[in-house]
Amino acid sequence: LNMVSKLPKKIGDSLMMVVDFEAEANKLSEVKGKVYLEGDNIRLAEVISAYLPLDISMKSGSIDMKLWSQWQQAKLVSIKTDAQIKQGLFVRKGKGNVVVNHLDTQFNWAFNDSQWQLDINRFLLDSSEQGKKSSQKWPDIILSLAEVNANASTPLHLKMCAKQIDLAEVTKLIQFF
């Protein structure tokens, strides 16, 4: 299935989707395949605000993105995303705002043997405080996070390997969450 669509202006400019799934008609739980999405100038506030965690809302911003996903047994098993967010404003009650002038990111997420891993290969953030004209370019963040010993009866345990991270800068961002 291939689709290219102009979007309503309220949502964005365009979306392309390529879906390549296969399964027997009587065994849909065994669907496997790939999905590719490419979006241009998608207005995130209109699309994702209702799905953000921790009382976070997005008031403005757009994204250009390319997303590749793999599916096995009708379940998502991996995602690779290359995205640029522009002019984003995230708000959390009691925590203030995060203004994203520009975020250029590339990450991979995979789920294997009941555990997930997230590899952030690029995270270039240019942000500013709301109402100020000066901006801050953050050092690139390159890191991996993985779930360790996934078990429904135990608390979540994570391991992190950071190839490049400025903890002082990241601490400022973590306070928002």
In tens digits, the chain (177 residues) has pLDDT values of 899 999 999 999 999 999 999 988 888 889 999 999 999 999 988 888 778 887 888 899 999 999 999 999 999 999 999 999 999 998 888 888 888 999 999 999 999 877 889 999 999 999 887 666 677 888 888 989 898 876 667 777 888 888 888 887 778 777 777
Three-class SS of residue 28?
helix
Predicted local distance difference test score (pLDDT) of residue 165: 84
How is residue 108 written in tokens?
Answer: 């991979």
Q: What single-letter amino acid sits at 63? A: I
CB 60 within 8 A of CB 42: no
Q: Is the dihedral of CA 47, 50, 53, 59 positive or negative?
A: positive
pTM: 0.81
Write down the pLDDT at residue 81: 96
Which residues have CB under 8 Å from 63's CB, separation 6+? 39, 41, 42, 44, 83, 84, 85, 86
pLDDT, residue 118, reads 94
Give the pLDDT confidence score for residue 130 in this predicted structure. 63
> What pLDDT, on a 0 to 100 scale, did the predictor assign at position 150?
64
Q: CA–CA separation, 103 vs 109, rounded Å?
A: 18
